[in-house]
Amino acid sequence: MLESLDLPGRPGDNRVVVAMSGGVDSSVAAGLLKRAGYDVVGITLQLYDHGAATHRKGACCAGQDIHDARRVAEHLDIPHYVLDYEDRFREAVIDTFAESYIAGETPVPCVACNQTVKFHDLLDTARDLGAAALATGHYVRSRKTGDRRSLYRPVDDDRDQSYFLFATTREQLDFLRFPLGDMTKAETREIARDLGLAISDKPDSQDICFVPSGKYSDVIERLKPGAAEPGDIVHVDGRVLGRHDGIIHYTIGQRRGIGVATGEPLYVVRLDADHGRVVVGPRDILATRRLALRDVNWIGDGTLVDLPPQGVEIFARVRSTRPPKPAILSYCDGTVVVDLMDSELGVAPGQACVFYDAPKGPARILGGGWIDRVATESEMAEAGMTFVDTAQGSLAQSR
């Protein structure tokens, strides 16, 4: 069941640190590796305290997870350490999330957490402990191609976490292992029962761990009091339709709860943080065709600079819940642009755009970047198909 970790020597010669959240997935990852004979060490990061994050007294779910991880480690008879990463997590993940929301973006904090906390700090700790690899319970696969490892979507499409791992570097990939990539969640739970783990029926974790209620704006208001400033709700045609109590209460593509009544169905099409405005319009205004990305990570063959000037065909995923869709990726004068073959509705700056080499199945992840600016079909038509509003506006004109 467990894919070879592809480490030199016998399993017992290799120490593998497992990032243990206290959930089913990472507990099973630890159990499988222990059963295969590896020298397994479990580490749980204390990332946040629900009491502190939400100002609710005595609601420390993180404490329960740590307790669960400890019990699993005891049951598996492996050493287990709990490391306090609260300050690091607050600064690198929660604060950045709040600031991004206040700037009118729709951030993806799980990517930042993987990059800064799990695959950076924890990975360094694993190396310090003499480990040959760091394993997690993410549903994603990595395979060796040549002398490097590449990242692929997992067997279980419903659990695919590749979108959140696009920023993983080649060096990190070489050290990481994902023992669950070849399994379905149902199989994982079955193994958990087989291993006798007390958490085998524990419910799946929340969407974003530090937003237990799912209400992002509540967390942001508590972290950054006064961040929610009232402003105008403006139609794309310029009409002021009403007032809102802070752009953090809105997301691009939102239809319900906008708070203005007109004859036509209206959607949030832009969050203008500079002027404190929520811009609304009809659904077709949301159709996005071109994206400019920042902080792009490329883990396909070659380098970004080597891409042909006319670009390459990829499959782009513009939101974690959307499937990869055909697109052209091009690189010119330091700017990475993705042209979607078919428009996508409601693409939001701050989300990730992740590149795949196939639309489904065990596709390889070629990299991805953060969506910096978007151009809708109507904006492109108005601008004569040029992407005029980017930092490098000349890019589109020169294509």
Ligand X SMILES: Nc1ncnc2c1ncn2[C@@H]1O[C@H](COP(=O)(O)OP(=O)(O)OP(=O)(O)O)[C@@H](O)[C@H]1O
Active site residues: 113, 209
Q: Is 257 exposed, middle or buried (0-12, 13-18, 19+ CB in 10 A)?
A: exposed
Interface with ligand X (CB under 6 A), residue from 47, 233, 299, 374? 47
**204: contact with ligand X by CB under 6 A:** yes
**19: contact with ligand X by CB under 6 A:** yes
Instruction: Identify the CA nearest to 97 among candidates 110, 80, 85, 86.
Output: 110
Q: What is the 3-state secondary structure (H, E, C) of 274-328?
A: CCCEEEEECHHHHEEEEEEEEEEEECCCCCHHHCCCCCEEEEEECCCCCCCEEEE
Interface with ligand X (CB under 6 A), residue from 50, 80, 90, 138? 138
CB of 21 to ligand X, least distance (A): 3
- Binding-site residue numbers for ATP are 19-26, 45, 137
**25: contact with ligand X by CB under 6 A:** yes
Please identify the residue of the shown chain whose CB is closest to the bound ligand X: 23
Interface with ligand X (CB under 6 A), residue from 2, 16, 17, 24? 24
CB of 114 to ligand X, least distance (A): 8
Interface with ligand X (CB under 6 A), residue from 26, 115, 142, 172? 26
Q: Which amino acid is at 190?
A: E
Q: How many residues sit close enough to ligand X to count as binding (CB under 6 A)?
A: 17
CB of 131 to ligand X, least distance (A): 14
**23: contact with ligand X by CB under 6 A:** yes
Interface with ligand X (CB under 6 A), residue from 20, 41, 252, 353? 20
Contact 152, 181 (CB under 8 A): yes
Helix (H, G, I), strand (E, B) or coil at 270: strand
Helix (H, G, I), strand (E, B) or coil at 26: helix
- Residues near 181 by beta carbon (within 8 Å), at least 6 away in sequence: 3, 138, 139, 140, 141, 142, 152, 154, 155
Footprint of ligand X (CB under 6 A): 19-21, 23-26, 44-45, 47, 118, 136-138, 204-205, 209
